[in-house]
Structure 1
Amino acid sequence: MVRPKLHSPSWLMSLALLLMVATPAFAESQLPDFTELVDMAAPAVVNISTTRDAERITTSSQQFGGQEVPEIFRHFFGDRLPLPPGGAPNRGDEPRHSLGSGFIFDEDGYIMTNAHVVKEADEILVRLNDRRELKAELVGADEKTDVAILKIEADNLSTLDIGESTDLKVGQWVAAIGSPFGFDHSVTSGIISAINRTLPQDVYVPFIQTDVAINPGNSGGPLFNLDGEVVGINSQILTRSGGYMGLSFAIPIDVAMDVAKQLREDGHVSRGWLGVSIQPVTKDLAESFGMEQAEGALIAGLEPSGPAAESGLQAGDIILEVNDQEVDRSSTLPRLVGEVAPNADVELTVLRDGRNETITVEVGEWPNASPEQSDSDQIRLGIAVQPLNDTAKRQLGIDNGVRIARVDPTGQAAAAGIRPGDVLVSIGQQPIESPDQLKEMLTNLPDDQTLPVLLNREGRAYFVAIQLGKAS
């Protein structure tokens, strides 16, 4: 039998010629050209440098370039320690300088950047594209979203066009301009890898995930779409080495502009608050509640005087929607509620006893929204607590303690892994008897020390180490 010839030399040669001719043209037609975008946008992108007095630098400050950096989400500005003549190591009593990026979004001289870029800065210096260097005033900063607003006094300022981050799609081309390692107006590009990402301790921001190269000094810089509009603020990366590893995260510009408006008008940001402690709905829990899939936020506890309790919500309810917006996982709930103005009504779709119910709640204001609302324990630990009754103590096998009702996602307690529902038993070997006693204890403890904290979680005792902030 004669077999047919499937691959003749002439056929292969024709295919090779076709690929040689067609492939470069195809690739060139599909890749974006960023030159026009950069020419238009670069004049409004700024370099930000800050100075902090040495005595204000705590031992907990992370320094880029350490021997080992764990795989964590990191805010990424550029710590630069000035070297004395001869390149000797920096002395501990010298000021510390940091670098970051930002952009002008208002012709009156308002600049947007990350809050961590200017945190605790004693002096903020802004360098423009035309090499002017100007001192900047901090208008306000919101650590929960990592957005800060600066103000400079100057004429003939270029500004950037603000886009809409709600229109972004996965796979879309984006570009960043910033000052990595102090190299002003460096441009990197990539695509959007995912949207609405929730990161640990950053539950108020639905991050834009990209593969745009972000390095120390990029933080606070703009993320652009192909129309040259700002759609995000570059903020964090996921890294094992301390350097860029292919995952970058930006704050959506819609979130940032809302924060900027409140900072300019009020000096702080107000957020909605329900007064509930929540936990994820696991596959097993979903099955036990008769759910087809694991979704929503399970209410584990309620603050007795909080908006949720007063509206009839109960422990065991599963919140599925907030104003018709799906709560796909528990970490989505704080963001959706936080976007609601305090004292406004919100409709919650709740699963209770196997049936969906709609409950209207008048949202409260998150405590700590302004300095006069802060309690000592919330400032120093980032928690709010409730008394623990005798029945609960007997069930847990403890003699004392207070139950943690709220945990500020950006506070020291959250960083240590403390969760709502945990019982705080002791701090520094001192037993905790009541919320008032805890408040008094924290008021009298020295600043910036690390103490062992004994917790009880679901009947199991364990220690965590936590660093105290400053007392009020």
Structure 2
Amino acid sequence: MILNRKPFVSVLALGLLILAGTLSAKPWEERGSRAPELVRLPSLRPIIEQVDSSVVNISTSVEAAAMDPGTEGPFGPFMSPEQLFERFFRGPGQRIPRRSMGTGFLFSKKGHILTNNHVIEGADRVEVTVTTFHGSQRQPQQENFVAQIIGRDPRTDVAILKIESERDFPFAYLGDSDSLKKGDWVMAFGNPFGLDHSVSVGIVSAKGREISPNENRRFDDFIQTDAIINFGNSGGPLVNTRAEVIGMNTAIISPAQGSGIGFAIPINVVKEIIPQLLERGAVARGYLGVMIQDITEAMKEGLGLQSRNGVVVNDIVEDGPSARSALKPGDIIVRVDQTRIEDSRSLQRVIGRSKPNQEVQVEVIRDGKRMTLSVQLGALDEDGSPSLPMEDGPSFDRLGLLLEEPKEAGRGLRVVAIRPDHQSGVFPDDEIRRIIRGGKSLNLTNLETYQNLIKELEDGENIVFHIVRSGGAQFYLDFEVPSSRGKSP
């Protein structure tokens, strides 16, 4: 008997199709890869692809000082795992390197790199990782180099490194930060928390910002941006929509004062000192030798001035450049060469950007009359001069912190801001109540006590912070005092 197999085969095929349809069914709907975009927004990918290869990862190492065998016992409650390793496995006098990370960017095909001075300051060894991207999928390829420190300027927190290769390096173009306007789009490149080649986007929130913890230390003319800047972004480029570097990421401020507040050094400030750093490894600045003050509204009326523009000369520094000129106490400086002087900051900038021994024409108002005097500038010492406060780098103390006194009795010092490369475990808005040093505890209720203490600390010394974090959590944090010695260019 011959069976007709066709109906059976058809039923089987239909069953398989139904089963396949059941297995492939998804509990959601998809438009498909060819669905049109409903709204097309401009992509920032072309900017990233042009700049990304010029951004480098910087790793520095500092040889840790040998541990004193007479210090606290091996089971001290505040010892980190690294200290435990050193205590048990390191021989007497043996040194182990400690590492930190930051960002930089190539600005020439010959391997010159710009970064922050605080990223490499005190380093015994500086390593740079260059990442190039290839193909449509942008496959990364990394190369490691040992960098040479060509020059550094602590006052503007700028340093130049150099790496060597037989090939040309990718580099970023430097733009014009003076052309920036509030509201312009910017992108921050860097390696936050070691996450290399990260990018954040924001706008220029303001220009000419100043960070100043006290009247004696000031670093001004920052670009403020809401593009996210985190720990490890220090030295990275802030880029405009033309893929030009218009700033160098340098500082952040406490979230307690407002989240998303970052600061970058204008690239025009950097460009002014690049030639000197390349040529001589340091920056020479002019020095006027005067004690000055801004003009208040009451002083304007009392002096019979039409505006508050200018600065009053309170005194002339003995044996200084102005002492050899006709400039006198009581003169009101309103112009230097072709630059109008609005306040002490503008005088600071024009003199600081002038060269030593340069002769400048200083226009003053004396007894209601205008006159022009010639002054041959001196050279500003590396440690600064009390007669003319100069830019002294970001206003962090030697521990990388910016603190303020408590507003309530019984509280400790509040961390206002920290350097982006600061990886000690201290965070903005932490409250530091005590410092324990050599087994002795010191309560921190005012900045004077704290500042006197950190002056006594030795490089590589271990101290302990008693910290209260937001929410009330309390803990102790081990901290090693960073080296204060600079690296010779």
TM-score (ref. length: structure 2): 0.62
- Is the aligned partner of 1:186 residue 2:186? no
1:347 & 1:102 partners in 2: Cα distance?
A: 39
| Conserved 8 A contact 1:203-1:334 | no
The structure 1 residue matched to 2:342, chosen from 328, 332, 345, is 328
Determine the structure 2 residue equivalent to 1:312: 326
- Specify the structure having the higher radius of gyration (Cα): 2
For the 8 Å contact 2:122–2:485, the answer to whether it is kept is no
Question: 1:369-416: per-residue Cα shift (whole Å, max 9, x none)?
Answer: xxxxxxxxx5xxx55xxxxxxxxxxxxxxxxxxxx5455653999979
**1:105 aligned residue:** 107
User: Would you say the 8 A contact 1:204–1:334 is kept in 2?
Assistant: no
Q: Secondary structure at the match of 2:56?
A: strand
Q: Which amino acid aligns with 1:96?
A: R
* 1:222 Cα deviation after fit: 0.6
User: Aligned equivalents of 1:412 and 1:173: distance in 2?
Assistant: 24
Q: Flag the 1:309–1:84 CA change in 2: closer, same or farther, 3 A.
A: closer
Q: Which residue number in structure 2 is paired with residue 115 of structure 1?
A: 117
Paired with 1:85 and 1:193, the residues of 2 have a C-alpha distance of 45
| Residue 137 (structure 1) aligned with residue 118 (structure 2) | no
Separation in 2, partners of 1:136, 1:358 = 48
Equivalent of 2:188, from 176, 183, 201? 176
Report percent identity of matched pairs.
38
Q: How far off its partner does 1:203 sit?
A: 5.2
* Cα distance in 2 for residues equivalent to 1:300 and 1:56: 50
1:359 Cα shift?
Answer: 2.3
Query: Quick one: distance in 1 between partners of 2:46 and 2:485?
Result: 48
Alpha-carbon separation, structure 1, partners of 2:120 and 2:168 = 25
Give secondary structure in 2 for the equivalent of 1:308: helix
Is 1:347–1:359's contact at 8 Å kept on the other side of the alignment?
Answer: yes
Answer yes or no: is the 8 Å Cα contact 1:342–1:363 preserved in 2.
yes
Residue 467 (1) aligns with residue 455 (2): yes
**Aligned pair 1:149/2:160, yes or no?**
yes
| Shift of residue 121, structure 1, vs aligned partner | 0.6
Q: List per-residue Cα deviations over 1:106-162 (Å, max 9, x = no partner).
A: 111111100000010111111111321111111111000110011111234111111
Gaps of 5+ in 2: 1-37, 68-79, 132-140, 403-448, 457-483
Pair 1:222 & 2:237 matched:
yes
AA at the equivalent of 1:121? A
Partner of 1:252: 266
- 1:144 alignment partner, SS class: coil
- Paired AA for residue 410 in structure 1: D
3-state SS of paired residue (2:298): helix
Whether the 8 Å CA contact 2:219–2:393 is kept in 1: the answer is no
Q: Distance in 2 between matches of 1:171 and 1:109?
A: 33
Instruction: Within 5 Å, give how 1:271-420 maps onto structure 2.
Output: 271-368=285-382, 378=383, 405=387, 409-410=391-392
1:13-67 per-residue CA deviation (whole Å, 9 max, x = no partner) reads: xxxxxxxxxxx96xx66xx53110001110110011111122299xxxxxxxxxx
Tell me the TM-score normalized by structure 1.
0.64
Aligned equivalent of 1:40: 50
Change over 3 Å in CA distance of 1:149–1:83 after alignment to 2: same
Alpha-carbon separation, structure 2, partners of 1:134 and 1:312: 54
Match of 1:261 among 260, 275, 278: 275
One-letter code aligned to 1:213: I
CA distance in 1, matches of 2:83, 2:397: 35
* CA drift at 1:305: 2.1
> CA–CA distance in 2 between the matches of 1:291 and 1:118?
48
Asked if 2 retains the 8 angstrom alpha-carbon contact of 1:213 and 1:244, the reply is no
Match of 2:415 in 1: none
**CA deviation after TM superposition for structure 1 residue 84, in Å:** 8.5
**Is residue 238 of structure 1 aligned with residue 238 of structure 2?**
no
Structure 1 counterpart of 2:349, one-letter code: R
Match of 1:197 among 167, 185, 209: 209
Relative distance call for 1:245 and 1:326 in structure 2 (3 A) is farther
Distance 2:278 2:370 in 1: 41
Q: Against the structure 1 CA distance between its residues 157 and 408, is the aligned structure 2 distance closer, same or farther, given a 3 Å change threshold?
A: same
Q: d(CA) in 1 for partners of 2:96 and 2:225?
A: 37
Sort the Cα spacing of 1:405 and 1:257 in 2 relative to 1 into closer, same or farther, 3 A: closer
CA distance in 1, matches of 2:395, 2:130: 39
Q: 1:56 to 1:367 in 2, by over 3 A?
A: farther
Provide the rounded CA distance (Å) in 1 between the counterparts of 2:238 and 2:395.
Answer: 31
How far is 1:208 from its partner? 1.7
- Name the Cα RMSD after superposition: 3.7
2:219/2:395 contact within 8 Å kept: no
Shift of 1:245: 2.4
Secondary structure of 2:248's aligned partner: strand
Rounded Cα–Cα distance in structure 2 between residues aligned with 1:265 and 1:470? 22
Aligned-partner Cα distance in 2 for 1:85–1:49:
24
- Offset, 1:259: 1.6
Does the 8 A contact of 2:317 with 2:387 survive in 1?
Answer: yes
Shift of 1:244: 8.1
**Alpha-carbon distance in 2 for matches of 1:414, 1:125:** 24
Match of 1:4 in 2: none
Q: Which residue of 2 aligns with 1:75?
A: none
Residue 159 (structure 1) aligns with = 171
Is the 2:211–2:394 contact (alpha carbons within 8 Å) kept by the matching residues of 1? no
Listed as ranges, the gaps of 5+ residues in structure 1 are 1-23, 58-80, 369-377, 384-403, 418-461
